[in-house]
């Protein structure tokens, strides 16, 4: 190994270790890794949204296959939030929203009211059927 390669390797390893410090706790490292994973997930959601809006802003399709309720977290909730936003029922989609929270529940109730579905705030068979009649991919 040449001196240049040894120095380059040392600098690379130092750059990897230095953000954590020599005495960094494994919990600190795990927290930083989790924060990075959260950022990656958020960026992936933003990319998906940009692809949807950029390729054809008038076309959105998704087949809803699961019941959804407050507390659920999944890509299905993200698709629901996009759909509710396209229905102009409040801004349920906030930075890649993938949590069925109170904002999403309120938007679901508004969707149900708009289409004459019992206003439960729960995405069950009737609400899914209406969502799919409007947005299912053909």
Structure tokens at 58: 């008038």
Alpha-carbon distance values, 66 to 69, 72, 117, 123 (Å): 10, 11, 17, 8
pLDDT band at 94 (very low <50, low <70, confident <90, very high): low
What SS3 class is residue 123? strand
Alpha-carbon distance values, 74 to 6, 54, 79, 83, 111 (Å): 46, 23, 9, 15, 20
Question: Which of residues 57 and 68 earns the better pLDDT score?
Answer: 68
Residue 13: pLDDT over 50: no
Cβ contact 92:70 at 8 Å:
no
81/93 Cα distance (integer angstroms): 5
Residue 102: pLDDT over 80: yes
Residue 56: pLDDT over 70: no
Identify the pLDDT of residue 30.
81
Identify the pLDDT of residue 93.
55
Q: How far is CA 104 from the centre of its chain?
A: 13
Question: Which of residues 131 and 96 earns the better pLDDT score?
Answer: 131
Identify the pLDDT of residue 11.
42
Identify the pLDDT of residue 137.
86
Domain spans, the chain: 41-135
Question: Which of residues 23 and 13 earns the better pLDDT score?
Answer: 23
Identify the pLDDT of residue 116.
97
Q: Give me the mean pLDDT over the 1-23 stretch.
A: 47
Q: Which CATH architecture has domain 41-135?
A: Orthogonal Bundle (1.10)
Structure confidence by residue, pLDDT tens digits, 109-123 = 999 999 999 999 999
6/69 Cα distance (integer angstroms): 56
Q: Which residues pair with 99 in a beta bridge?
A: 73
Identify the pLDDT of residue 59.
67
Backbone dihedral region of 88: left (phi > 0), alpha (psi from -120 to 50 degrees) or beta?
left
33/117 Cα distance (integer angstroms): 43
- Token pair 């120095």 is at which residue? 7
* Per-residue DSSP letter, 95: S
Residue 103: pLDDT over 80: yes
């Amino acid at each position: 190994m040449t001196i240049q390669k040894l120095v380059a390797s040392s600098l690379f390893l130092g750059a990897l270790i230095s953000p954590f410090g020599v005495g960094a706790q494994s919990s600190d490292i795990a927290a930083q890794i989790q924060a990075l994973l959260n950022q990656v997930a958020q960026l992936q959601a933003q990319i998906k949204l940009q692809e949807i809006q950029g390729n054809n802003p008038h076309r959105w399709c998704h087949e809803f296959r699961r019941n959804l309720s407050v507390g659920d977290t999944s890509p299905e909730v993200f698709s629901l939030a996009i759909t509710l936003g396209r229905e102009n029922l409040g801004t349920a989609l906030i930075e890649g929203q993938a949590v069925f929270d109170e904002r999403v529940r309120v938007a679901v109730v508004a969707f149900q009211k708009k289409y004459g579905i019992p206003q439960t705030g729960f995405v069950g068979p009737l609400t899914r059927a209406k969502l799919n009649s409007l947005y299912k991919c053909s």
